[in-house]
Amino acid sequence: MAQTVVSVYRRSRLTSLLALVLVLAFPCLVASGAGGLCVVMAIDERSGLPGIAINAESFKILMTRADGNADLQDLRRDAISPRLIIDTLEHGVNVGSDDTLVFYYAGHGATDETRGHFLATSGGDLLRCELRRAVLRHNPKLAVIITDCCSSRARFSEPGEGAAQLDEPTSESAEIMRSLFHDHEGLVDITGATYVPKYKTGEYGWYRQNGGIFTQALYQILERPTLVDLDINGDQFVCWHEVMCALQSCTREGYSELRRMRNDGRMAQDIREKLEQQMNQTPQAFHLARPLRGSNTAENYCGGLGVFFRMVPRGRAYGARLTSPPLLGTQAERLGLEPGDTVVSLDDYVFQQPIDLSLHVNKTEMVFENIRTGRLTTCHADVGTWIVPDYRASNLEVCYLLVTDGERLGARITRPPRKGSPLDTIGLELGDMIIELDGDPIRSHRDVVSHFGTTTLRFVNVRTGEIKSATVVLKNDRDGQVLTPDE
């Protein structure tokens, strides 16, 4: 369930509502001739969380300044329940194949060990997979699900049943917002805290008087987005993968700031204890949409399995053929899938479009065709939530993921360093984690890719747990980039 911090802390001037961000781009959406934008906002005011009512009122004020053609479904006047949400999404919106449908929820949530993530509304529990099916029912060009709630472990219960003043966006910011909501297709599905099936535990999603830490981070990133802050691979285009990386980093920073206040004598004892036990709050994505530019439209990514793939015809349906090795530590990697293998079905469901692979979480029966034998193999996979694809730092000549180790962030090597590369020369191997470059801690991807020339690294040896230092010479090529299967 979502955790709150009482009014010991001063109210921030910034509000924490995704919808505030969306409306910044509306004038550009109309001008571009793009499809319509429909937003369904479920604010569970009965949850007792601070900041929720402020968010809703701020959104109402901003809607008077937004384009009149944008369709808003505001559910906060009703008791939020699974039935209300599903009925609204299935029968209360007018969405076509060229439109974007956005669903935003603020309230309580949790993760059931066997059923997956769910919204714990004041009117009952709603499984995320059911929410996802309802959002995708109309086959919109882009579907976006954003939930600001916990991912902590709990049992799913079967149903028994003053606003901030905003500056005008720059042309660059407006173009980034337009591209995020109109130059992508598929599904965006993000929640504000992480559940780790391996350890059967999840994080609380924390709220303060000015709203949720996760939504504050989202607002901070997208209120006036810039290429300098978000365009990690330098292609002059911001995709949801890049937004997700920034969102994870910014949310961690917000939680770290809150956690440092745990010794404040005015804070309730139970709140202090929870902050002491929880090291981080990290958003997790169940899926991210594909950009509609260049060769990316032919390449897809399934975060639950951790694989890149292309759709290939199989009779009246399609298969998902792997285009590169699965990401390290994913179910596909543990099951021995290799490039060329084709996933045929999940839980007996065949595929018609790429997003069909993302509707399965937790215990799943998978059938795939082995490219080496030509035989169909059936196995049982514990499909996880969305895993960030690894990044390539061209200065280090290595692929990595940003991971949390205690209270610090590190760049964990996800693929063996190339022979003769800087990290190979000092003996770094798959799984080792870089924690500092020239004495600077790692807080984001830019901290990894911005060092050149003679550089001193501190890293953790995964085999011994020992922290070591070494000096390497890094080349100045180009900024770090998202590693695609073709590279």
- Residue 218 sits in a domain whose CATH number is 3.40.50.1460
On whether both 249 and 342 belong to a single domain, the answer is no
Give dist(CA 106, CA 426) in Å, integer: 48
Q: How many domains does the chain have?
A: 3
Nearest to 438 by CA among 423, 454, 417, 416: 454
Same domain membership, residue 353 and residue 421: no
Among residues 274, 295, 316, which one ends one of the domains? Answer: 295
Domain end point (choices 361, 383, 405): 383
Tell me the pTM. Answer: 0.52
| Per-residue model confidence (pLDDT) at position 310 | 84
Could you list the residue range(s) of the whole structural domain that residue 325 is in?
Answer: 301-383
pLDDT digits (tens, 9 = 90+) for 444-479: 777 888 888 899 999 988 778 889 999 999 876 543
What pLDDT is attached to residue 172? 80
- Together in a domain, 219 and 306: no
Cα–Cα distance measured from residue 275 to residue 135, given in angstroms and rounded to the nearest whole number: 34
pLDDT at 313: 86
CB 382 within 8 A of CB 197: yes
Report CA-CA distances (Å) from 295 to 175, 187, 487: 21, 18, 12
Tell me the pLDDT tens digit for each residue of 261-287: 887 777 888 888 888 888 888 888 887
CA separation for the pair 335, 216 (Å, rounded) = 39
pLDDT of residue 49: 83
Does 288 lie in the same domain as 155?
yes
**How many C-alpha atoms does 203 have within 13 Å on its Cβ side?**
24
Residues in the chain: 487
- Asked if the structure places residue 449 within a domain, the reply is yes
In a domain? residue 150: yes
Tell me which residue of 63, 57, 49 sits closest to 21, measured CA to CA.
63
* Residues 251 and 170 both lie in one domain: yes
Q: Phi/psi at 233 (nearest 5 deg)?
A: -90, 5
452 domain-assigned? yes
Q: Which residue shows structure tokens 């504050």? A: 216
233 and 90 in one domain?
yes
Is residue 73 in some structural domain?
Answer: yes
Predicted local distance difference test score (pLDDT) of residue 198: 61
pLDDT attached to residue 65: 46
Q: Which of 383, 403, 433 is the last residue of a domain?
A: 383
Of 251, 79, 230, residue with least CA distance to 148: 251
E strands within 246-370?
284-287, 290-291, 300-302, 307-314, 317-322, 342-346, 362-369
Say yes or no: 149 and 290 in one domain.
yes
Q: What is the pLDDT of residue 60?
A: 60
Which residues does residue 126 pair with via DSSP β-bridges, in sequence order?
A: 119
Question: In terms of domains, do 342 and 397 share one?
Answer: no
**Which residue(s) pair with 409 in the sheet?**
404
Residues 290 and 377 in one domain: no
Domain-embedded: residue 359 = yes
Could you tell me which of 87, 92, 91, 159 has the C-alpha nearest to residue 120?
159
List, for the chain, all residue ranges whose pLDDT scores fall below the cut of 50.
4-33, 62-67, 161-166, 294-297, 478-487
CA 113, CA 116: separation in Å to the nearest integer? 6
Residues 206 and 111 in one domain: yes
Residue 487 lies in a domain: no
Q: Going by C-beta distance under 8 Å and a sequence separation of 6 or more, which residues neighbour residue 31? A: none
Contact 474, 453 (CB under 8 A): yes
Question: What CATH number corresponds to the domain at position 326?
Answer: 2.30.42.10
* Shared domain check, 216 and 83: yes
Residue among 246, 106, 258 nearest 176 (CA): 246
**338 & 397 share domain:** no
